[in-house]
Structure 1
Amino acid sequence: MSRGPTLFELEDSATETPATAAQPPEDGPPTGAAMRATLSLGRRRMTWLGRLGWGAALALLGMALSIAAWDFVTGLIARNPSLGWVAGGLLALVGVACLGVALREWMGFRRLARLDDLRQQADRARNDGNRNTALRLMARLSALYANRPEMRWHRDRLAELAPDQPDAEGLLHLSETTLLVPLDQAARAEVEAAARQVALLTAMLPMALVDVVAALAINLRMIRRIAEIYGGRAGALGSIRLLRGVVAHLLATGAVAVGEDMLGSVASGGVVSKLSRRFGEGLVNGALTARLGIAAMSICRPLPFVAAQKPRTSNIVSRAISGLFDRG
């Protein structure tokens, strides 16, 4: 007996098209991971137990290296006096170089402490209204830049106009506008260059650890250059100390967070959302670098921003971005 055709009814299934397919999950807004990692490095404070442990470890390592070098030189003198004395001379040169580095770091710390002392003296003169205190501060500030030829005209101008100022506030205002405004322009140029470099490198480097190292190196160099502009000249350890002080200043003023709202005003209305994520990350990292640089200017400046206007992050970032596109 033959069977007729059998009909199988299939359920209706809509054909999936690119228009009806589910959208892939979107990444969140750029957060500036590289600069936030850099700020976290400067934010960390070692406990007294950690300082004690690391200090003992470094002292033990230095002792072991010194004893090993001494045994090597004395043993070489016993075997071959000529080579031994050559090795002894080289060891002495290494010791002199280490002492020179230590002396340079100590001098750097002294220069940074002098800037702090000038800021404190300026606060006392402004609060007390003592003209003699302001005159002494003006003399110290002028002597700070005595060995810089580009500041000679400004120092002479300050000495010429100072007798016309009747009170401490006028002397402080004159000192700031005459001596520090040109230095502010140079420091601002350093901040703009660093923000541009961080934005470009973190946008182009694909590896997370590499862009963190690059951002840290650029920011340390920026802080060291700002300190040199204002008369600080920080060494390696001094730069790390300055980085910690700058991060502490950012935390105290609540200026660490950078969001899309600030970048929207910088980049003409939300252009970050139209860029690739890597370029957006670079832009946020550049903005964080600008804020770090402004904080470094506040920390390294011998006088606080009173008469002169403090730089704005949005202006620095916009100039850095325009310089980036102009060079491209």
Structure 2
Amino acid sequence: MSDKPPKKPLLLDWDTREETAADAPRARRPAAAPETVSGPTPADVPPVPDLDLPQGQAMLAASRIATVRSSRLGRFAGWIFGTLLSFVLSVAAWDFVTSLLSRNSVLGAAAFVLIGTAVLTALALALREWWAYVRLERLDSLREAAIAARATNDLKAARRVVTSIEKMYGHRADLRWGKARLAERQAEVFDVDGLLGLAENELLVTLDQSARREIEAAARQVAAVTALVPLALADVATALYANLRMVRRIAEIYGGRSGSFGSVRLLRRVFSSLIAAGAVAMTDDLLHSVAGGGVLSKVSRRFGEGMVNGALTARVGVAAMELCRPLPFHTAPRPKVTNLISRSLTGLFDR
């Protein structure tokens, strides 16, 4: 027999290891309460502004140009230099005609007729501008009278306003059916809101549609030129021209028929009212347009600026409607900038 001791069976470590205190599970200590932070937290920090968001710089520049006012000294200088120039031209024309008459009576008579015709034309232009101011003031007075009649619930005053509007639009063939319906139904209405609302629905809704089309055309033109013409100051000049023409057409639609100086004055009033109300900026009714312009600006900066300039042009058009309308928006809905800009730019910028 062999003297070697028998081999012990092979055991795994986890079978032979004895559990000790070190191997016992350690009791977890309670987590310490987080220390309160006295400073601002990340949630309190304002979001980083998007500096690439288009702002409509062309329309902002146009508003500054349209609302600039000269000082008293500048106005006096313009008046005195204009008077001096008129005096010099008058004396020169008189000397020219008298000297020509002394040399040749036929040529002198022709020169006298031409100068007289020029003077009469200038007087006719001045008379037209004065009449344009009168018509714009008449629209303002009708609107204020309608607001006062509705505030005081004065039915007689409301009827006078409606009668004045009917006389003002008596020659308009496009309002023939509306005037006929108004004449049939106004005797049945005995409250101020109903009477003014009837006049607004029958006479002004058709004119509102024409004014909306003018606004859409101007917004489309400003947006297209801003996006597609890379010339310096071309967008500003286009914005001024398009807005001036739009305001003039809106005044003509509602019966204003503003002349050249009257259109400039009306455009200045529109921009002044918007600036006073803080409306030449990004507010709720422009959020959709600005968001679309921000998306387009990722592709092209000028495309985004074009969309925002078009939206600001639409806002100017809505303000011009409010100033040229003989009745304020009460029954008929006030046009929304987002709807106008979506219709005007459909197909111009793909969404």
How far apart, in 1, do the equivalents of 2:244 and 2:126 lie? 19
Q: 1:316 aligned to 2:340?
A: yes
The answer to whether the 8 Å contact 2:290/2:308 transfers is no
The answer to whether the 8 Å contact 1:263/1:284 transfers is no
| TM-score, structure 2 normalization | 0.81
Letter in 2 for 1:160: E
Letter in 2 for 1:131: L
Letter in 2 for 1:40: R
Radius of gyration: which is bigger?
Answer: 2
Residue 156 of structure 1: how far off its partner (Å): 1.0
Query: In structure 1, which of residues 213, 216, 222 is the aligned counterpart of residue 246 of structure 2?
Result: 222
How far apart, in 2, do the equivalents of 1:205 and 1:265 lie? 21
Alignment of 1:285-300 (within 5 A): 285-300=309-324
How far apart, in 1, do the equivalents of 2:64 and 2:169 lie? 34
Question: Which consecutive unaligned segments of at least 5 residues does structure 1 have?
Answer: 1-25
- Report what 1:96 is aligned to: 120
Residue 261 of structure 1: how far off its partner (Å): 9.2
- After superposition, give the CA deviation of every residue in 1:153-181 in whole Å (9 maximum; x if it has no partner): 10111111112212112111111111111
Change (3 A) 1:109 1:122: same
Letter in 2 for 1:56: I
- Report what 1:18 is aligned to: none
How far apart, in 2, do the equivalents of 1:269 and 1:112 lie? 35
How far apart, in 2, do the equivalents of 1:298 and 1:144 lie? 18
- Report what 1:144 is aligned to: 168
Residue 310 of structure 1: how far off its partner (Å): 0.8
Q: How many residues end up aligned between the 2 structures? A: 301
Change (3 A) 1:210 1:268: closer
Query: In structure 1, which of residues 98, 106, 116 is the aligned counterpart of residue 140 of structure 2?
Result: 116
Query: In structure 2, which of residues 101, 117, 121 is the aligned counterpart of residue 77 of structure 1?
Result: 101
The answer to whether the 8 Å contact 1:105/1:234 transfers is yes
- Report what 1:40 is aligned to: 64
Residue 270 of structure 1: how far off its partner (Å): 4.5
The answer to whether the 8 Å contact 2:54/2:290 transfers is no
The answer to whether the 8 Å contact 2:52/2:294 transfers is no
How far apart, in 1, do the equivalents of 2:292 and 2:238 lie? 28
- After superposition, give the CA deviation of every residue in 1:63-82 in whole Å (9 maximum; x if it has no partner): 11121122222222222222
- Higher mean alpha-carbon deviation, 47-56 vs 314-323, is at 47-56
Question: Which consecutive unaligned segments of at least 5 residues does structure 2 have?
Answer: 1-49
Change (3 A) 1:268 1:243: closer
Q: 1:204 aligned to 2:247?
A: no
Residue 111 of structure 1: how far off its partner (Å): 0.4
The answer to whether the 8 Å contact 1:131/1:168 transfers is yes
- Higher mean alpha-carbon deviation, 90-99 vs 250-259, is at 250-259
How far apart, in 2, do the equivalents of 1:275 and 1:192 lie? 24
The answer to whether the 8 Å contact 2:54/2:305 transfers is yes
How far apart, in 2, do the equivalents of 1:319 and 1:106 lie? 36
SS at match of 2:243: helix
- Higher mean alpha-carbon deviation, 234-243 vs 283-292, is at 283-292
The answer to whether the 8 Å contact 1:266/1:318 transfers is no
Query: In structure 2, which of residues 278, 297, 308 is the aligned counterpart of residue 284 of structure 1?
Result: 308
How far apart, in 2, do the equivalents of 1:267 and 1:241 lie? 33
Structure with greater helix percent: 1
SS at match of 1:285: helix
SS at match of 2:331: coil
- Report what 1:132 is aligned to: 156
The answer to whether the 8 Å contact 2:129/2:262 transfers is yes
How far apart, in 2, do the equivalents of 1:115 and 1:323 lie? 36
- Report what 1:10 is aligned to: none
Q: 1:64 aligned to 2:91?
A: no
| TM-score, structure 1 normalization | 0.86
Letter in 2 for 1:315: N
Q: CA RMSD in A?
A: 2.1
Alignment of 1:267-282 (within 5 A): 270-282=294-306
The answer to whether the 8 Å contact 1:32/1:285 transfers is yes
Residue 265 of structure 1: how far off its partner (Å): 5.0
